[in-house]
Amino acid sequence: MNKIVITLIVCLLPFALKSQSKTPINIIYTSDAHYGIFREHFRGDTNVAGYLVNGAMIAKINTLPGTRLPVDGGVQAGQKIGYIDYSIQSGDIANRMEPPYQSATISWQQFENDYIDHLHLKDQHGKPTQLLVIPGNHDISNAIGYVKKMIPATDPVSEIGIYNMMLKPKVPLTARAFNYKQNKIHYSRDIGGVHFLFINLWPDSAERVWMAGDLKKVPIQIPVIIFAHDQPTCDPKHFNNPAAPGQFPAGSKFEDLTEERYKEGNVPQKGEHSTDLEQRGWVAFLKQHPNVKAYFHGNSNWNEFYVYHGPDNDVNLPVFRVDSPMKGDISKKDETQLSFQLITLDPDSLLLTVRECLWNTEPGNPKSPVLFGACKTIKLKQSE
């Protein structure tokens, strides 16, 4: 009798283990730190340096564990936050070095102090929260040069810092060896049953070659999420100058940040159709990879959950835009609207909830708790 009972227990054990649910993943998302510039108003003071504002935000992020989520129908609604697995920062670490703003070297040191040395969060296994970073247009311009005067003319320290931190080359990249065309910052991570792509600025034609190669290893049933600095429509001036590619002639409006030349004309166009030709290649990529389920970005900053339809209204990609502590379109004028995002992923149901985290609702009381604003949940699982 005892042997039979033991046999049943042993036989059922694998099924019991298989049925165990996976723990949700918590991710903090911020962008556009812009070390080097000043906020006009912050907590009763004026002309407040970027390192002070970012430091205040990091201090508030550190208070998240133990905070109860709202009953909003999202993943883990009503439960306490127990841990933060990842912290994602999507660029413009250093502000562009146009006088009187500081060098990228100083900005990178300030970023490390805040986002590495003073981020005291732990993941669900008790290990330090993992930081994932990509560059923004200011980081790249500092590294390669700009159409207007900068002092120094180039400083690739923030770009190199991100490259070495994220790509971990056997021989760390140095300023002497740095080559923007060869040292693009793009990488992927598999997190909670989802494939995350962290790309260089925007999915231009060159970046899509790398993305397609990476996705060859990913089964079609695995959802994909993209993090980029630029919005899905991109910024016209970020493309390569069609008249003088790779150069910064006097009067040029192009910043030559992508490998793709601008197709609409010899100057950046304005309006909602200013990048239609470039976007159509990006939309074709989305149609070829239907498992791309969401897109996160900074660059033009406020908290917004929206759907990207493409220039011809033939795709439906959920998009999440995040605020900036220094250059938020809304929070720059109203500091009570300063926010970052908390992303919670359920690996079992493949539901993803993004919550707006308002971190400065009482400027006169730095100890006031984080409040939750807008919330959106999307389904990442492929249709049956």
d(CA 313, CA 239): 23
Mean pLDDT of the chain: 93
Pairing mode, strands 224-227 and 194-198: parallel
What is the DSSP code (8-state) at residue 238?
G
What is the DSSP code (8-state) at residue 243?
S
Residue 114 belongs to a domain? yes
Percent of the chain clearing pLDDT 90 (strictly above): 90
Rounded to an integer, the average pLDDT of 361-376 is 97
Domain extent at residue 94: 22-379
> Does the pLDDT at position 14 exceed 50?
no
- Helix or strand holding residue 345 (H, E): strand 339-346
Residue 13 belongs to a domain? no
Residue 4 belongs to a domain? no
The domain that contains 57 carries what CATH number?
3.60.21.10
d(CA 103, CA 365): 32
Residue 281 belongs to a domain? yes
List pLDDT tens digits, range 205-251. Answer: 999 999 999 999 999 999 999 999 999 999 999 999 998 888 888 88
Per the model's pLDDT, the better-predicted residue between 158 and 5 turns out to be 158
> Does the pLDDT at position 9 exceed 70?
no
User: 346: pLDDT confidence band, cut at 50, 70 and 90?
Assistant: very high
> Does the pLDDT at position 18 exceed 70?
no
Residue 17 belongs to a domain? no
Our count of domains for the chain comes to 1
> Does the pLDDT at position 383 exceed 80?
no
d(CA 233, CA 180): 23
Which distant-in-sequence residues (6+ apart) come within 8 Å of 149 by Cβ? Answer: 98, 99
Rounded to an integer, the average pLDDT of 73-80 is 98
Rounded to an integer, the average pLDDT of 254-281 is 94
* pLDDT for res 21: 65
The SS3 of residue 45 is strand
Choose among 209, 233, 229: nearest CA to 317. 233
* pLDDT for res 376: 98
List pLDDT tens digits, range 294-312. Answer: 999 999 999 999 999 999 9
0.85 exceeded by the pTM? yes
User: 334: pLDDT confidence band, cut at 50, 70 and 90?
Assistant: very high
* pLDDT for res 246: 80
Residue 16 belongs to a domain? no
Per the model's pLDDT, the better-predicted residue between 6 and 361 turns out to be 361
Residue 178 belongs to a domain? yes
Residue 106 belongs to a domain? yes
d(CA 134, CA 162): 7
* pLDDT for res 13: 34
List pLDDT tens digits, range 167-198. Answer: 999 999 999 999 999 999 999 999 999 999 99
Rounded to an integer, the average pLDDT of 137-155 is 97
* pLDDT for res 245: 83
Percent of the chain clearing pLDDT 70 (strictly above): 94
CB burial of 139-174 (b: ≥16 within 10 Å; e: otherwise) equals: bbbbbbbbbeebeeebbbbbbbbbbeebeeeeeebe
* pLDDT for res 358: 98
